[in-house]
Homo-oligomer: A and B are copies of this chain.
Amino acid sequence: MKDFVFSYPTKVYFGKGAAGKALDLELKNYKKIMLAYGGGSVKKNGIYDEIMELLKNKDVIEFSGIMSNPTYKKVQEGAGLARENSVDFILAVGGGSVIDCCKVVAAQAVTDEDIWEMEFVNKKFPTEWIPMGAVVTASGTGSEMNAGAVITNEDKKIKAGVFAAYADFAVLDPYYTLSVPFKQVISGTFDTLSHCMETYFGTPRESFISDEINEAVMRNVIYNIRQLIKNPEDIEARSELMWDSAMAENGLLKLGKVTDFQAHQIEHQLGAYTDCNHGQGLAVIHPVLYSHIYSEAAGKFVRFAKVVWNITEGKSEVELAVKGINALTEFIKEIGLPTNFREMGITDTKCFRAVADSCNITAGCCKKLTKDEIFEILEECY
């Protein structure tokens, strides 16, 4: 087990009506609240009204229109708004995009330095921010439980992870997920599964407790996606998936081990060039990527096949490993996610060379992919 330092600064309020309890307790000392949300669906589904009612004794400054794949320009707009209004708390209401955007807004608003420059050029990371909370409507990214944020810098054509604020608290109300289009719910659950797999395949050793917990989370995700597809109103399945999402990215599965995240790093750059849906992009990339790397960590892929997909028969390690990857592909089809880029609406391969060349692969534990291999993978995905 590798050494680690771990803290978990976000308090979780989980369950029906959790927003009321959380906002009542957590916002006592704040007056000027920046309420941040996306394209306005919260206004249609009633969540906006519910939150506004809970904030009725506060000064509310609205920051709206946060897009999927939030841009650095949008971050700067939010930071400006927060500064101009001397906001003392930021409340993000939405999915990963809204929460990610707000985490960087919170940090950008308290410094004159440009955060992008600070992190990517000067390798310094924020230690101060405007306090914030997250009310999760669309789960999957697990953004509410960590300090990472994925932001698209349009000028630089880079979609990358930025370190920023931790939310003081997160509201996880499974009933809020009923407001999200079902297709997006499913693509969000695949993001959860992807976080688990990217963490799992970070190290060849099999017996780490973190990996064994990870296997439990993966099985639970798979089981509950199937339950949810049978009955989209199944609130128990939504509850389990919402907590799985948080567990996959609250840091616990990563303790004492290294992680991979090559599929994410490739998908992020694809997103920078095509603005594609994150969960869908991951669904296409994962099996193809794994077919390129499994032979370097066959033992781990065999365990994945056996323990996660319950595959017991195979003539060789290789056959079992391949069967596990095939089971993943079949599952992706079963739950209605795409298995190639064309199904996602990507109409040509022109950007693939640039996507591959701009990927910043930081880990790659079984096998660190070269730019050419990434290009090959992208072509196969098409």
**A212-B216, A247-B209, A252-B252 are contacts. A12–B21 as well, Cβ < 8 Å?**
no
Copies in the complex: 2
Is A8 a contact partner of B8 (Cβ separation < 8 A)? Answer: yes
Q: Closest B-chain residue to A253, C-beta based?
A: B213
With an 8 A cutoff between CB atoms, is A217 at the interface?
yes
Pick the interface stretch among A47-55, A132-140, A238-246.
Answer: A238-246
- The winner among A4, A174, A209, A256 for most chain B CB atoms within 10 A is A209
Please indicate the chain B residues that have their CB under 8 angstroms from the CB of A120 in the complex: none
A177 CB, min distance to chain B CBs, angstroms: 13
* Chain A positions 1-40 with a Cβ under 8 Å from a chain B Cβ: 1-8, 10-16, 18, 21
Set of chain B residues within 8 Å of A382, measured between Cβ atoms: none
The reply on A233 being an interface residue by CB < 8 A is no
Contact A240 B1 (CB under 8 A): yes
Q: Is A77 an interface residue (CB 8 A)?
A: no
Decide if B11 touches A7 in the complex (CB within 8 Å): yes
Indicate which residue in B2, B10, B239 contacts A1 across the interface (CB closer than 8 Å).
B239
Q: Confirm or deny: A207 has a beta carbon within 8 angstroms of a beta carbon on chain B.
A: yes
How many angstroms from the CA of A219 to the CA of B240 in the assembled complex? 22
Q: How far is the CB of A359 from chain B (nearest CB, A)?
A: 31
- A273 close to chain B: CB less than 8 A: no
Counting CB contacts under 8 A, is A220 at the interface? yes
Q: Are A216 and B209 in contact (CB under 8 A)?
A: yes
A208 near B240 with CB under 8 A, answer: yes
Contact of B2 with A12 in the complex, beta carbons under 8 Å: no
Given known A-B contacts A3-B14, A236-B1, A212 and B207 have beta carbons under 8 A apart: no
Q: Tell me the residues in window 195-251 of chain A with beta carbons closer than 8 Å to chain B beta carbons.
A: 207-209, 212-213, 215-217, 219-220, 223, 236, 239-240, 243-244, 247
- Complex Cα distance A188/B11, Å? 30
A213's partner among B1, B18, B216 (CB-CB below 8 A) is B216
**A2 touches which one: B2, B15, B256 (CB < 8 A)?**
B15
Task: Look across to chain B and name the residue whose beta carbon is closest to the beta carbon of A212.
Answer: B216
Q: Is the CB of A15 within 8 A of B6?
A: no
| A255 interface residue (CB < 8 Å to B) | yes
A217 touches B223 (CB 8 A): no
Residues of B within 8 A of A8 (CB): 7-8
With known contacts A209-B217, A220-B212, A21–B1 Cβ distance under 8 A = no
A16 contacts across to B, CB distance below 8 A: 3
With A209-B240, A212-B216, A243-B209: A4-B14 Cβ-Cβ less than 8 Å: yes
Contact indicator B215/A14 (Cβ below 8 Å): no
Contacts of A3 in B (CB 8 A): 14-16, 18
28 contacts between A and B (CB under 8 A): A1-B14, A1-B15, A1-B243, A2-B15, A3-B16, A3-B18, A4-B12, A4-B14, A4-B15, A5-B13, A5-B21, A6-B11, A7-B8, A7-B11, A14-B255, A207-B220, A209-B216, A209-B217, A209-B220, A209-B240, A209-B247, A212-B220, A213-B213, A213-B216, A213-B247, A215-B216, A239-B256, A243-B255
Q: Which residues of A contact B (CB under 8 A)?
A: 1-8, 10-16, 18, 21, 174, 207-209, 212-213, 215-217, 219-220, 223, 236, 239-240, 243-244, 247, 252, 255-256
List the 8 closest A-B pairs by CB distance, nearest first. Answer: A3-B15, A8-B8, A7-B11, A212-B216, A1-B239, A216-B216, A6-B12, A209-B220
